Structure 1
Amino acid sequence: MTPMSNAEYLTRVQFADELAGLQKAVKAAGYTYEGLAKEMGTNKVWLTSALQGQQWVPEEYCKKLAGLLGVPEEQTMFLNNHPYKGNTDPILYRLHEVLDTYGPAIKELIHEKGGNGIMSAIDFAIDVDIVPDEHGDRVVITWNGKLLKYSKMGEYPW
């Protein structure tokens, strides 16, 4: 089903019941998301995002996940569908706010340090940690994307 409005798109989670079942299976199997990712041989942020309905999961990982959780493969194969993405959760809102606020500065610094180009979101790694701090624990998010130079292979005005 295609979302009918922007608000519906931002709040809709495809396969919500199936995802809730998998999240219960993770807990029932005694895993944390980080521990499950280690067993799967995947990035913890990517796997947690997948189990929130925000990533496409290759079939071989769906099967591996089913085996680790002790559930039938049919219970994980829906993850092999490409999801609708988006949410209005307070943490996600703030991540958008950070990009809205600092994105133009990050773009300028990428150009200044790496020349004109963009950061890949395909050749990309991400990690999240919580670091103790005497003034309150800190969230550390590390993004690591390949710098992609503009190819100038097409017919452009430059």
Structure 2
Amino acid sequence: MDKLAMTEAIMAKKAEKGLTWEGIANEIGCSPVWLTSACLGMNSASAEKAAAIAEYLELSCEVAEALTAFPTKVWDQVVPTDPLVYRLYEIMGVYGGTLKEVIQEKFGDGIMSAIDFTMEVDKVEDPKGDRVVLTMSGKFLPYKSW
């Protein structure tokens, strides 16, 4: 089973059972953001986590095996049209250079890891309209001179 078929099986079972990513993550003991990414094929799971996901969703061992496979992290290189994804793309287009400048001013010449990385999505209720809070935390990786 490839990652695409795995994702389709997971999404169908999630919808059939009326589950949420947060609910599944709470049951198997992991971050909802990481779980979602793994189930969408962009990260791999340990054999133990993959088995727990497949068991909880009542899916086959082929799904568990696909969850453990190392992903090829490729995505569309065109501007996304989904409004939520586009807004994040727009934020990087407008503030990407600013973030780079501020991070490098504080840390030096380097990058933020997307491997040693965590992300949380939170909701803050507000009478003017609820707020989305994205928290990204990545290890700073300085460039080496040699």
Q: Same fold (TM over 0.5)?
A: yes
Q: How many residues align?
A: 140
Q: Look up the SS of the partner of 1:76 in the other structure.
A: helix
Q: Which residue is equivalent to 1:31? A: 19
Matched, 1:129 2:122: yes
Q: TM-score, normalised on structure 1? A: 0.76
Q: Which residue is equivalent to 1:71? A: 59
By how many angstroms is 1:144 displaced? 0.6
By how many angstroms is 1:96 displaced? 1.4
Q: Look up the SS of the partner of 1:121 in the other structure.
A: strand
Instruction: String of CA shifts for 1:44-73, please: whole Å, max 9, x gaps.
Output: 111112222322233332211112222221
Q: Could you tell me how far apart the structure 2 residues matched to 1:52 and 1:108 are? A: 32
**C-alpha root-mean-square deviation of aligned residues, in Å?**
2.1
Q: TM-score, normalised on structure 2? A: 0.81
1:53 aligns with one of 9, 33, 41: 41
Q: Quick check: 1:56–1:80 contact (8 Å CA) kept in 2?
A: yes
- Larger-Rg structure: 1
Structure 2: gaps of 5 or more residues: none
Q: Quick check: 1:56–1:83 contact (8 Å CA) kept in 2?
A: no
Q: Look up the SS of the partner of 1:146 in the other structure.
A: strand
Give the direction of change, closer, same or farther, for the CA distance of 1:93–1:85 in structure 2 (3 Å limit): farther
2:28 aligns with one of 40, 47, 50: 40
Q: Quick check: 1:22–1:76 contact (8 Å CA) kept in 2?
A: no
Residues 139-148 or 40-49, more deviating: 40-49
Amino acid at match of 2:123: I
Matched, 1:100 2:93: yes
- Residue identity over aligned pairs, in percent, reads 39
Structure 1: gaps of 5 or more residues: 1-13
By how many angstroms is 1:30 displaced? 5.2
